[in-house]
């Protein structure tokens, strides 16, 4: 993103940290360091403060109407001969499509964090139900006044809230294909869209899908395999009904059907099981529905028999877009992590994380901190819909304390929401900060850019350390840490790859 403000033509200062103690104010000069000066023994990364603050102003004024149309935005790729059914679609940050006109950037951040906390609670609830062996037969219909007797169905509550993602993909549904913006969610399996007629539908960017206009719309019967695979379902007049409830109170209820799903001009897949929601409420405003990219049998990835998929998440404050790709080769420079299975829950993508380092030094945490326990508890997952990385409390405290000890030269600021480590960087154009890195088995290391863990929470120069303690034993690598990195899920080889600067 271009920086056009006149003052940005001034020399940008790189502030090098030279001791572990508070630097004297005389060392915080506004001139470039001489060539004889070198960073200290620990590794540092440059945070471009001016660029980050520039985007805090841009995101609230971005006009979603400037996005290219469905057909204009198609990116053509030539799959290799060994690539089965290569598909590619555009991927957009939520706020570039749904501009809520927040009064300032801080209220936008607080709204994001509130959604994020609800999602994390819902993911941990889903795991807890699996660990406690709660089955579909144990679930009961919810008593609710939201639907009248003449409405399509009676909602069924699973309690397995999964939350909503923060990025939208553009896919086609039906025949002929109707282009729809849908939430990208690696923490969910069930795909769904809003459908006419609506008992209650929230506002979305595209026209609500009308099943009567599609020649490939096919309701599933109650004894269909896909219907039986739902965690919660009901039956009316021989047709399968579904409900998915989310941790923030959002839900979708309707018919469970099969439809054709199209990926721009790169191809389509017939008979994909998808929810046709007639009563949908919650925080999905802007999107037409949700693409479940989890590891379960009903996810889009499983249904189209994808051997791999990848995405690259652009900065959430950016109007730019990237791609979601299926069956594309993993970039050769990927830092890979072993993909683990949890026998209790097949939705989540667990990785084998061996440790975290700050400033080049490994943080002391017990070896089992990020391991999946024999009971299915614990572990760390890669999730597209959670924003802020959560670490088990003991590990978070150690990582945070290590970061604080190496940033004593920075002016501290008050805590903001779930962030307990914040800084006032308003007087700086850029600053060098300790590098935070994830370490995987085999000696593989993923070094995070500074902007992926020091993020602005207002437009005045307050930045916070974008990690938080987990409310359970489950840890999550969130999408703020994934920004600007192509994340490749190679199910065939049980690997997850992280390749920076591949958007």
pLDDT for residue 7 is more than 60: no
How many residues are listed for the chain in this entry?
A: 503
pLDDT digits (tens, 9 = 90+) for 379-409: 999 999 899 999 999 999 999 999 999 999 9
Radius of gyration of the chain (CA): 23
251-255, 364-368, 459-463, 491-495: which range is least confident on average?
364-368
CA distance linking residue 118 with residue 162, whole number of Å: 9
Q: What is the pLDDT of residue 338?
A: 96
pLDDT digits (tens, 9 = 90+) for 81-110: 344 578 887 777 766 555 566 678 888 788
Give whole-number Cα distances, 197 to 98, 152, 212, 426, in Å. Answer: 23, 10, 10, 51
pLDDT for residue 498 is more than 50: yes
Active site residue 317: no
140-152 burial by CB neighbour count: b if 16+ within 10 A, else e? Answer: eebeeeebeeeeb
For the residues of 422-448, what is the DSSP string, one character each? EEE-TT-SEEEEE-EEEEEGGGEEEEP
pLDDT digits (tens, 9 = 90+) for 421-440: 999 999 999 999 999 999 99
pLDDT for residue 373 is more than 50: yes
Q: What is the pLDDT of residue 147?
A: 29
Q: What is the mean pLDDT of residues 176-186?
A: 92
Per-residue pLDDT band for 38 (boundaries 50, 70, 90) equals very low
Q: Which residues contact 155 (CB under 8 A, 6 or more apart)?
A: 141, 142, 144, 146, 147, 243, 245, 251, 253, 279
Q: SS3 string of 204-247?
A: ECCCCECHHHCCCCEECECCCHHHHHCCCEEEECCEEEEEEECC
Given the residues 116, 189, 279, 383, the one annotated as active site: 383
Decide which of 341 and 60 is more confident.
341
Q: What is the mean pLDDT of residues 261-283?
A: 90
E-strand ranges in 303-366 read 308-312, 322-326, 335-342, 345-351, 353-358, 361-362
Q: What is the pLDDT of residue 106?
A: 85
2-16, 155-169, 322-336, 407-421: which range is least confident on average?
2-16
Per-residue pLDDT band for 114 (boundaries 50, 70, 90) equals confident
Active site residue 206: no
Q: What is the mean pLDDT of residues 284-299?
A: 90
> Chain-wide mean pLDDT for the chain?
79
Q: What is the pLDDT of residue 98?
A: 56
28-37, 88-97, 244-253: which range is least confident on average?
28-37
Q: Are 405 and 412 in contact (CB under 8 A)?
A: no
CA distance linking residue 336 with residue 169, whole number of Å: 25
pLDDT digits (tens, 9 = 90+) for 211-237: 999 999 999 999 999 999 998 888 989
Q: What is the pLDDT of residue 248?
A: 63
CA distance linking residue 110 with residue 418, whole number of Å: 9
Q: Are 261 and 272 in contact (CB under 8 A)?
A: yes
Per-residue pLDDT band for 152 (boundaries 50, 70, 90) equals very low
Q: For residue 219, how many C-alpha atoms fall within 13 Å in the half-sphere facing its CB?
A: 16
Q: What is the pLDDT of residue 404?
A: 98
User: What is the crossing angle of helices 49-59 and 105-131, to 10°?
Assistant: 90
Q: Are 202 and 279 in contact (CB under 8 A)?
A: no
Given the residues 95, 116, 185, 248, the one annotated as active site: 185
């Amino acid at each position: 993103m271009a920086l056009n403000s006149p003052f940005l033509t001034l020399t940008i200062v790189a502030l090098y940290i030279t001791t572990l103690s508070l630097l004297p104010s005389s060392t915080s000069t506004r001139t470039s360091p001489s060539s004889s000066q070198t960073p200290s023994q620990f590794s540092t990364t440059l945070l471009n403060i001016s660029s980050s603050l520039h985007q805090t102003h841009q995101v609230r004024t971005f006009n979603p109407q400037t996005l290219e149309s469905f057909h204009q935005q198609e990116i053509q790729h030539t799959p290799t001969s060994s690539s089965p059914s290569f598909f590619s679609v555009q991927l957009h940050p939520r706020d570039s499509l749904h501009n809520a006109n927040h009064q300032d950037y801080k209220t936008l951040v607080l709204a994001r964090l509130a959604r994020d906390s609800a999602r994390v609670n819902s993911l941990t609830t889903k795991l807890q139900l699996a660990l406690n062996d709660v089955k579909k037969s144990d679930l009961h219909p919810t008593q609710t006044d939201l639907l009248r007797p003449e409405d399509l169905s009676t909602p069924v509550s699973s309690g397995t809230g999964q939350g909503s993602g923060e990025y939208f993909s553009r896919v086609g549904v039906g025949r002929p294909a109707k282009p729809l913006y849908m939430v990208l969610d690696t923490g969910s399996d069930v795909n769904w869209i809003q459908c006419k007629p609506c008992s209650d539908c929230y506002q979305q960017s595209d026209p609500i899908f009308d099943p009567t206009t599609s020649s490939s719309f096919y309701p599933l019967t109650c004894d269909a395999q896909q219907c039986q695979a739902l965690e919660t379902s009901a039956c009316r007049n021989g047709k399968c009904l579904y409900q998915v409830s989310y941790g923030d109170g959002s839900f979708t209820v309707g018919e469970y059907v099969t439809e054709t799903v199209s990926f721009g001009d790169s191809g389509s897949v017939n008979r994909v099981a998808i929810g046709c929601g007639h009563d949908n409420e919650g925080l999905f405003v802007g999107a037409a529905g949700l693409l479940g990219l989890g590891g379960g049998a009903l996810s889009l990835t499983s249904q189209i028999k994808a051997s791999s998929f990848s995405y690259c998440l652009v900065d959430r404050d950016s109007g730019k877009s990237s791609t979601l790709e299926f069956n594309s080769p993993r970039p050769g420079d990927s830092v890979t992590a072993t993909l683990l299975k949890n026998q209790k829950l097949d939705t989540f993508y667990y990785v084998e994380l061996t440790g975290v380092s700050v400033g080049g030094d490994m943080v002391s945490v017990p070896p089992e901190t990020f391991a999946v326990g024999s009971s299915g508890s614990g572990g760390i997952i890669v999730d597209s819909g959670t924003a802020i990385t959560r670490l088990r409390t003991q590990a978070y405290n150690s990582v945070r304390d290590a970061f604080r000890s190496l940033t004593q030269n920075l002016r501290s600021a008050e805590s903001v929401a779930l962030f307990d480590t914040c800084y006032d960087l308003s007087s700086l154009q850029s600053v060098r900060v300790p590098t935070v890195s994830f370490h995987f088995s085999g000696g593989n290391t993923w070094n995070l850019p500074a902007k992926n863990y020091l993020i602005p929470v207002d437009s005045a120069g307050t930045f916070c350390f974008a990690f938080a303690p987990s409310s359970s034993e489950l840890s999550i690598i969130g999408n703020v840490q994934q920004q600007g990195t192509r994340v490749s899920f190679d199910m065939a080889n049980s690997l997850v790859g992280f390749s920076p600067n591949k958007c």
